[in-house]
Amino acid sequence: MKVKKKIFFNIHSWIGIRLSILFFIVCFSGTLATLSHEMDWLFNPDARATPQQELASRNTIVANFRNSYPDASIGYWMRTDEPYLCDVIYKKEGGYTSYVFANPYTGEIQGEARLTFQRFFRDLHYFLFIPFQAGHFTVLIFAFLLLTSLITALVFYKKWWRKLFKLETGKGVLVFFRSLHRLAGLWSVPFTLLFSITGIWYFLERANVAGIGVEANPRPPKVKNVSEGISTLKEDPAFSLDYDKALSIAKKEIPQLKAGDLLPPQNPSAVLYLTGKSDVPLVRQRANRVYINPYTYEVVKTQKAREMGTVMWLNDIADPLHFGYWGGLVTKIIWFIAGLGISSLVLTGIWITLKRKAIKRKKNGQKVMGIWRYINWGICAVMLFFMYYFLTERYHISAQSMILISLGWAIFIALGYYIFVYRLNKAVQHLLI
């Protein structure tokens, strides 16, 4: 039994130390992503809205958008569940995309940003800015590793349920961090399980295991008799559409619908795609979908959250559960705190293991991480390369924003070096004197 527990302990330690840097980036970026909308509200006044009883006409917002950006088109129109945030309209102009903030209550166009906090942290957490699906699967593999780390810890940690309130102090830094690691781990068990399971679901969806990806993400229908429809239009359908009429039609299809995001037709055969919340709890907006012919306003297809199958239901609860926005700001704050707890597990685990390994290394010359150190930093280097590429080529962010992002990463790397190299070596030298 002791041998088996030692094996589980070694597996747990191997995951935590060999993949420590990437593990922390994935966990901490997901933690920040839970409150990324609120970061936009906090740091960008243009993104703020004062809740009112009545919403502005969507047609009015489109007209104001066109007056402000006569040469642009609408790529996507996001209306968040948070009443204190503006709509975010994806503006396409000159081959580039930027984000326009439209007040959903007054219809006013309040400002524009080349990149939002929400978009930055979601991209970082989703795929580490690494393209070609490599980044997505790199992140999603950590869902399996997170679950494995949880299971192995519960196996080798004896009678863990008796130590939910035990924190050892006054016995040295190493003992304190071990105790803190265990305590934070125990209280994080439900969220660790939730994050790993939803992450594994994302993996199955993206890899299309057993056809899950195709079933959960059906292709949108197309418009028939396109030539007849085009002849009735005089301009870009995104600006010629009567959005208020379309929303009224969508609400007749789904009576409880609270309209949310929408996607204007991007080509002549595309439909107008509307989503929203209904009386079905927990699911995201995309669980309710209405596809409308932009030429005739005929409903082409409807998906109702109340009537969808199990696979689609699981797919549409994964995001709200993973990022914690299903219950509004309260649940997002709870999820944020839980994410900080799991991120702290990575940090304390690194400290504990590195200190133990460093002591052995000082005594008999063993290496701490060997080749895994270079694998971690190598992937991080690739991530930073593509991050700067995307920030420059896709988002065209300002020099000021680039400096702030670079400063954030510089602080992260400097703190990592100070804590896990400089301070750790000092502590080990003190122990060996």
3-state secondary structure 142-199: HHHHHHHHHHHHHHHCCCHHHHCCCCCCCCCHHHHHHHHHHHHHHHCHHHHHHHHHHH
- Coil/strand/helix, residue 93: strand
Residue with tokens 């060999």: 18
Q: What is the pLDDT of residues 164-178, one digit of tens each?
A: 778 877 777 777 878
Which residues touch 350 (CB under 8 Å, ≥6 apart)?
16, 17, 20, 24, 420
Question: What is the model's pLDDT at position 367?
Answer: 52
Section 404-427 average pLDDT: 83
Integer CA distances (angstroms), 102 to 67, 155, 396, in order = 13, 52, 21
CB 386 within 8 A of CB 129: yes
d(CA 345, CA 157): 15
Nearest to 283 by CA among 256, 305, 261, 251: 305
Strand bridging mode 258-263 / 272-277: antiparallel
Between the CA atoms of 221, 225, 231 and 237, what dihedral angle is there, to the nearest 10 degrees?
A: 0
- Coil/strand/helix, residue 365: coil
Q: What is the pLDDT of residues 389-398, one digit of tens each?
A: 999 999 999 9
* Alpha helix positions (H), 19-172: 20-34, 36-43, 58-68, 117-127, 134-156
Q: What is the pLDDT of residues 14-43, one digit of tens each?
A: 887 788 888 999 999 999 999 999 999 999
Integer CA distances (angstroms), 58 to 63, 76, 99, 242, 359, in order = 9, 13, 17, 8, 65
CB 240 within 8 A of CB 220: no
d(CA 100, CA 254): 29
Between the CA atoms of 354, 356, 357 and 363, what dihedral angle is there, to the nearest 10 degrees?
A: 140
- How many other CB atoms sit within 10 Å of the CB of residue 351? 22
Q: What is the pTM for the complete model shown? A: 0.91
Residue with tokens 């896709």: 394
Give the sheet arrangement for strand 288-292, strand by strand: 109-113, 96-102, 87-93, 73-78, 258-263, 272-277, 288-292, 299-303
Section 315-324 average pLDDT: 97
Q: Which amino acid is it at 297?
A: Y
**Is residue 47 scored above 80 in pLDDT?**
yes
d(CA 370, CA 364): 15
Nearest to 286 by CA among 257, 243, 253, 249: 257
**Is residue 188 scored above 60 in pLDDT?**
yes
Residue of higher predicted confidence among 124 and 156: 124
Nearest to 212 by CA among 288, 124, 316, 121: 316
Task: Describe the crossing of helices 371-393 and 399-417 by its angle, rounded to 10 degrees.
Answer: 170
* Tokens, residue 413: 């790397």
**Is residue 433 scored above 60 in pLDDT?**
no
CB 236 within 8 A of CB 359: no
Q: Which of 93-97, 119-123, 422-426 has the weakest average pLDDT? A: 422-426
Nearest to 36 by CA among 387, 339, 413, 262: 339
Q: What is the pLDDT of residues 232-244, one digit of tens each?
A: 555 677 898 999 9
DSSP state of 32: H
Q: What is the pLDDT of residues 206-251, one digit of tens each?
A: 999 999 999 999 999 998 877 655 555 556 778 989 999 999 999 9
Question: What is the model's pLDDT at position 289?
Answer: 97
Average pLDDT over the chain, rounded to an integer: 89
CB 203 within 8 A of CB 137: yes
Which residues touch 96 (CB under 8 Å, ≥6 apart)?
394, 396
- Coil/strand/helix, residue 106: coil
